[in-house]
């Protein structure tokens, strides 16, 4: 593997700064939106679960075609448009609240459309990264991005809880809008663009979507990575959707305490991301994914034990360790799937993963709301914890656990003939977009 650093790429540094602002906005809203629903609109667990579902439902509705569209578009414009859209949507919430006109219906529309903008942002950013830094620098670039996301969880969710507690949830949402706007302005400094599409008539949309699905589900390692990540997301979302009710209503704790609990999970993500490369160098990429799952995933069963005093600390430790494992997965798993995918399929591969992973968030929110309403908060937490504890099994039982190193760069696919094209030589194509 080359020692080239992605930090030498000017556009990557620009992109990283924009992503920092975007992640801060996302994590502040993660705390503020459900707390607005609970505190300002007196929402029930079912309503909060519905909001969580709507926030990620767009990945189920348009996730797969969005991958094909992103493969045809310039990433820079996609990302800027997505951030501007999210800024405008969240700005409408405090405005309505200050006019005493905020309703659950408006909040539902905001989170649904925000989810649609996030579809294009997430797919475009992950597809652009290999173009931007080159495939040999992917592990370093992904480690930096996952570390940033983890820091966003710590700073953003901690700041979100503090803003809600000190200045109210609508002010926290206004800060979210400002951060998305700042991110969009930062992205205008990007200069690189992806390679132009190949000449000739474009393939049909449904054929392009099918190519992405076949690539992921027909590849045993990609399929295992997708299943493990989907189960982990499903369990995590059930837990996260339920935690506001546990902390605020059943335990009588403050919004700031909830923010700190979520921030601790972000610290676990950060540590996992930072340990991913040295662990993989010692144990191998696949073996690290398998063994980290075997050792750390069962700690998800400690989270439902959350209560007063020492029980809260025990649940917090379990959450940190479970997130540590997910942080490692985010670096090594994403790098593996990017290296296993040819450039023309990156958008659709990422769209397929995002469809599954973020679709699991939508389903998890709905499950959490239903279980919380019918069976209680603690039952929902046990279901989420059990899913987190067993999510590692698809990777552990697959060929991934035997892989010591990243695979060589995948060859492009000739979709018209159904067979690989000869590998092209020369530098990787360049692109712009946030990781």
193 pLDDT band (50/70/90 cuts)?
Answer: low
The verdict on residue 422 lying in a domain is no
Beta bridge partners of 413: 420
Question: Could you read off the pLDDT of 290-312 as tens digits, one per residue?
Answer: 999 999 999 999 999 988 889 99
- d(Cα 74, Cα 268) in Å, to the nearest integer? 34
Residues spanned by the domain of 103? 6-194+205-411
Question: Could you read off the pLDDT of 152-173 as tens digits, one per residue?
Answer: 666 666 667 777 777 777 788 8
**Number of residues that this document lists for the chain:** 435
The verdict on residue 167 lying in a domain is yes
Question: Could you read off the pLDDT of 110-167 as tens digits, one per residue?
Answer: 999 998 998 888 887 877 777 777 767 777 887 787 777 767 666 666 667 777 777 7
The verdict on residue 427 lying in a domain is no
The verdict on residue 345 lying in a domain is yes
List Cβ neighbours of 86 (8 Å cut-off, separation of 6 or more): 25, 114, 117, 118, 121, 177, 180
Question: Could you read off the pLDDT of 403-420 as tens digits, one per residue?
Answer: 888 777 554 443 333 333
Helical H segments across 188-309, by residue range: 205-217, 220-244, 255-283, 285-296
What is the domain count for the chain? 1
The verdict on residue 435 lying in a domain is no
The verdict on residue 416 lying in a domain is no
Domain holding 100: CATH number? 1.20.1250.20
The pTM for the full model equals: 0.69
Is-contact 407 286, C-beta < 8 A? no
Q: Which helix (H) or strand (E) is 110 found in, with range?
A: helix 104-133
- d(Cα 329, Cα 336) in Å, to the nearest integer? 10
Question: Could you read off the pLDDT of 355-400 as tens digits, one per residue?
Answer: 888 778 778 888 998 898 888 889 999 999 999 999 999 999 999 9
The verdict on residue 423 lying in a domain is no
Beta bridge partners of 419: 414
The verdict on residue 76 lying in a domain is yes
Question: Could you read off the pLDDT of 20-31 as tens digits, one per residue?
Answer: 888 888 878 877
| Total Cβ atoms within 10 A of residue 260 | 17
Phi, psi for residue 387 in degrees, rounded to 5: -65, -40
- d(Cα 140, Cα 144) in Å, to the nearest integer? 6
**Separation in Å, CA 12 to CA 128, 142, 174, 216:** 10, 11, 28, 27
Helix (H/G/I), strand (E/B), else coil: 104: helix
Question: Could you read off the pLDDT of 17-58 as tens digits, one per residue?
Answer: 888 888 888 878 877 888 788 777 777 777 877 887 787 777
Question: Could you read off the pLDDT of 243-261 as tens digits, one per residue?
Answer: 988 998 888 888 778 878 8
| Total Cβ atoms within 10 A of residue 62 | 17
What's the pLDDT at 299?
94
Residue 227 has pLDDT above 60, yes or no: yes
224 pLDDT band (50/70/90 cuts)?
Answer: very high
- d(Cα 299, Cα 97) in Å, to the nearest integer? 40
Both structure tokens of 170: 């609508």
């Amino acid at each position: 593997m080359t020692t080239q650093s992605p930090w030498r790429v000017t556009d990557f540094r620009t992109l990283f700064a924009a992503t920092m602002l975007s992640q801060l906005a996302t994590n502040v809203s993660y705390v503020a939106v459900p707390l607005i629903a609970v505190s300002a609109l007196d929402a029930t667990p079912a309503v909060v679960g519905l909001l969580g579902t709507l926030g990620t439902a767009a990945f189920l509705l348009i996730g797969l075609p969005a991958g094909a569209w992103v493969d045809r578009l310039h990433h820079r414009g996609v990302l800027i448009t997505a951030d501007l859209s999210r800024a405008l949507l969240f700005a409408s919430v405090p405005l309505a609240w200050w006019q005493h006109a905020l309703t659950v219906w408006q909040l539902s529309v905001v989170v649904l459309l925000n989810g649609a903008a996030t579809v294009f942002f997430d797919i475009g950013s992950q597809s652009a990264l290999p173009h931007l830094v080159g495939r040999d620098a992917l592990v370093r670039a992904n480690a930096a991005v996952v570390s940033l996301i983890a820091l966003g969880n710590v700073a953003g969710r901690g700041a979100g809880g503090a803003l809600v507690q000190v200045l109210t949830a609508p002010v926290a949402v206004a800060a979210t809008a400002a951060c998305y706007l700042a991110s969009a302005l930062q992205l205008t400094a990007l200069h690189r663009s992806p390679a132009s599409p190949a000449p000739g008539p474009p393939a049909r949309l449904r054929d392009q979507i099918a190519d992405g699905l076949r690539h992921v589900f027909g590849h045993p390692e990609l399929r295992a990575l997708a299943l493990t990540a989907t189960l982990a997301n499903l369990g995590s979302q059930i837990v996260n959707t339920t935690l506001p009710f546990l902390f605020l209503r059943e335990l009588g704790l403050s919004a700031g305490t909830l923010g700190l609990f979520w921030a601790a999970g972000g610290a676990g993500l950060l540590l996992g991301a930072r340990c991913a490369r040295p662990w993989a160098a010692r144990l191998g990429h696949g073996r690290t994914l398998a063994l980290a799952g075997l050792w750390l995933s069962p700690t998800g069963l400690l989270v439902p034990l959350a209560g007063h005093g020492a029980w809260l600390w025990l649940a917090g430790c379990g959450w940190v360790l479970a997130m540590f494992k997910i942080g490692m997965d985010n670096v090594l798993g994403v790098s593996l799937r990017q290296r296993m995918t040819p450039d023309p399929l990156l958008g659709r591969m990422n769209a397929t993963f995002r469809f599954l992973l973020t679709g699991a968030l939508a389903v998890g929110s709905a499950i959490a709301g239903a279980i919380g309403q019918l069976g209680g908060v603690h039952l929902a937490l046990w279901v989420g914890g059990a899913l987190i504890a067993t999510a590692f099994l698809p990777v552990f039982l697959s060929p991934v656990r035997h892989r010591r190193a990243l695979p060589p760069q995948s060859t492009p696919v000739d979709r018209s003939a159904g067979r690989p094209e000869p590998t092209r030589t020369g530098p990787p194509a360049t692109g712009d977009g946030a990781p």
